[in-house]
Chains A and B, each alone.
Chain A
Amino acid sequence: MTTILQYTLSGLAIGGVYALVALGFHIMWSTAKAVNFAHGDTLMIGAVLAVMGVDAGMPVWLACGLSILAGGAFGVALERIAVRPFTAEANSIGWMLSTIAIGIMAESLATMQFGGFSRALHSPGVDRPLNVFGAGVYAQELLIPAVAVALTLGLGLMQKRTLIGRAMRAVAHDKRAAALMGVNVGRIVAISFGLSALLGAGAGVLVAPVIQASATMGVLLGLKGFAVAIIGGITSAPGVLVAGLLFGVLEKFVEGYISTAAREIVAFSVMIAVLLVFPQGLFGKRETVKV
């Protein structure tokens, strides 16, 4: 029983990271019908810059804040440079490869500046584990899924209540119509990339104390976050959140009861299977053909 609880708690922590990354994919996809394929590197940038900030003598809160802002700026710049020029094209090869290229460059720069090592970002959240009915977990780990849930709710509120949020929904629904209604589509897309990058960098800062910051930390988290977004239905924020948390828990149980190496095989097979049965993801909206 304790074991099951332990797996669930550990799974929720990892799943929270997937959900935060996937939420970023959701925001980008909704407005631009394109994503930053290297979104995992946004997370890396947040974590790595935070550690470098602390190295440079900043207080932790300032280093984290600045690195999240830098992540957001990165997202906006990336959209302008690597996504916008290619979204007009019919197929997606253009922005896929250009964002992958920027990811490679970011990772390589980070390796040079930061070194190949993993580095710790200190947080009081990982000083000692909490005991939850016999299972051990860091406070920081509980914080991650909580933040993911809060941000999903916040995003929903923002999209309903604020002008920018409503504009984002309008653009997601129909770009041309939104433009005709006077929405500056380009700016909304840029904002959504910035917002998703803020989330990504924030996730990096949150997770760095738990999994350590390194130049290569983003790649797999990014790919899995994307897989989660697709499973949940990339058009639905709550769907993405649920899928992320479930995916994390599933992974832990596969690790616990089958083997670590089977984890990737099972997780990605599940993703393909879900897509075959629900082409729009579990909670995504179906798009109909019209001739």
Chain B
Amino acid sequence: MRRTTVSRAYGLGLAAAVALTPAMALAQKAPCIGNSVATTGPAAFGGAAIKMGAETAIEEINAKGGVLGQPLKLIQYDDAGAPPRGIDNTRRIALADKCVAILGGYHSTVSVAQAEPVNTIGIPFVGVLAANTKAIENGRSPNFMFRVSAKDKWVARFLVEKAAAQSKTGKIAFFYENTGWGNGALPDVQAAMKAAGKELVATETFNWNDQDMTPQAIRARDAGADVVLFWALDREGNQIVRSMDKVGYKPTIIGAWGIAGNLGELAGPLANGVQVVQTYTFMGDMDPKKKALWDKISAKYGLKDPSEVKMASGVGNAYDAVYIIAQAIEKAGAYDWAKVREALYQVKLDGLVATYDPAFDASDPERQDAILPKYYKLTAWQDGKLLPIEQTPYGKTN
């Protein structure tokens, strides 16, 4: 009671003079990780995957005694995929809940918007799905934005490499959604093509909820592309492959992970052979480590089949990200934003998705990303299932 009176009086005295800068927030932070993610709306499955991974990791950590002797908590907010709500949640996590770090969500636009308050406040942010390059590589120093997920710049290189290998004519087209995610990837893909000594023969865009993409398909077909790169979600990805089918166009399709959800169900046989990059999957053969995690998750969330997890990369990434943060807190020896940020560069971990050695590299602005391209996995749709490409007929042609 007395303390609040004092602090109020203190506030009164300083109110006119002191700026509301993050410097005020020197106090000890709480042992919690905040998570702003879409748990409602069309991409709620992404939020659900992140939640599974993060909750499971935190449960394991707490079972072993928590961090710095205290149990870790996960505070979950819904951003519904809307940037302003992402910004509000970021501030709420940092300033009201005083958590030690933030996990990012599914939507690139939200992550890009969060970069501003994150760096102004100075709280470590670890993205676990959204792949937009600029959200993390934002030119700020010190940069508090980190990521344990795929990065479009690297995904672009990875996919262009695969495309170049599979193209017979050397003509490659690019289809991307007209959103922060798709538009953000455009320069990455163009740069990757240039680096490979090639140029896109068609660059086509479309909006969410578009029902027919025949104009785009016709242009790509007439440009002679035999491989098409996708930056699309399942719903629109389905419309594109159907529109291609209508105009008699059957290129090889390689996509970023927006079409890793239920393209197989939507497009039926048309999806067969569509290749998708991922960082993690429960599909196909499981090694013992994966099997153990699957048993735990399937029991906890009542899942019967691995295909029920729509965005398994989110589970794997979030799981690893929580372990990385926990280790950074232990190394920092305090629930302190700046110290934890420093410690993130020291973390070494043998994770689900990758072997992090170290997780991040302070000397390289590109290495605010933890998962290197060599850990990216190519999967392919086969009769409604998205399997590691080696386990499908399409892997053999490579």
Contact = CB atoms under 8 A, between A and B. Distances in A.
A–B touching in complex (CB under 8 Å): yes
B235 A118 contact: yes
Interface in B55-83: none
Interface string B314-330: 00000000000000000
A227 interface: no
A119 interface: yes
A120 interface: yes
B28 interface: no
Interface in A106-141: 108, 111, 115-120, 126, 128-129, 131, 135-138
A269 interface: no
A6 B205 contact: no
Contact of A14 (B211, B247, B261): B211
A119 B42 CA distance: 12
Contact of B262 (A117, A126, A136): A117
Given A119-B266, A212-B235, A111 B44 contact: yes
A184 interface: no
A116 B247 CA distance: 29
A261 B205 CA distance: 8
Interface string B232-251: 00110011001001111000
Given A116-B43, A117-B234, A10 B214 contact: yes
Contacts of A120: 238, 265-266, 268
| Residue among A120, A214, A264 facing the most chain B CB atoms (10 A cut-off) | A120
A116 B80 CA distance: 11
Contacts of A274: none
Given A111-B44, A138-B246, A259-B205, 9 more contacts: A6-B247, A10-B212, A14-B211, A212-B266, A215-B42, A216-B42, A217-B209, A260-B216, A263-B207
Given A14-B211, A116-B45, A260 B266 contact: no
B348 to A, nearest CB: 37
| Residue among A211, A256, A261 facing the most chain B CB atoms (10 A cut-off) | A211
A3 B218 contact: yes
B178 to A, nearest CB: 5
A186 to B, nearest CB: 37
Contact of B239 (A115, A116, A211): A211
Interface of B: 40-45, 178, 205-207, 209-212, 214-216, 218, 234-235, 238-239, 242, 245-248, 261-262, 265-266, 268, 310
A138 B242 CA distance: 10
A119 B262 CA distance: 8
| Residue among A117, A135, A215, A256 facing the most chain B CB atoms (10 A cut-off) | A117
22 contacts: A6-B215, A14-B211, A14-B212, A111-B44, A116-B41, A117-B235, A117-B261, A117-B262, A118-B235, A118-B262, A120-B266, A120-B268, A131-B248, A136-B246, A136-B247, A210-B211, A216-B41, A252-B215, A260-B178, A260-B216, A261-B207, A264-B207
Ordered nearest first, which 3 A-B pairs have the shortest CB separation? Answer: A136-B246, A256-B215, A118-B235
Contact of B248 (A136, A255, A263): A136
Nearest to B41: A116
Nearest to B239: A211
Contacts of A214: 42, 235
A220 interface: yes
Contacts of B178: 260-261
B214 A6 contact: yes
Contacts of B206: 260
A216 B38 CA distance: 15
Interface in A252-268: 252, 255-256, 259-261, 263-264
Nearest to B238: A212
B301 to A, nearest CB: 14
A115 to B, nearest CB: 7
A187 to B, nearest CB: 37
B54 to A, nearest CB: 19
A210 B207 CA distance: 17
A115 B45 contact: yes
A129 B245 contact: yes
A111 B310 CA distance: 16
Interface in A62-118: 108, 111, 115-118
A129 B266 CA distance: 16
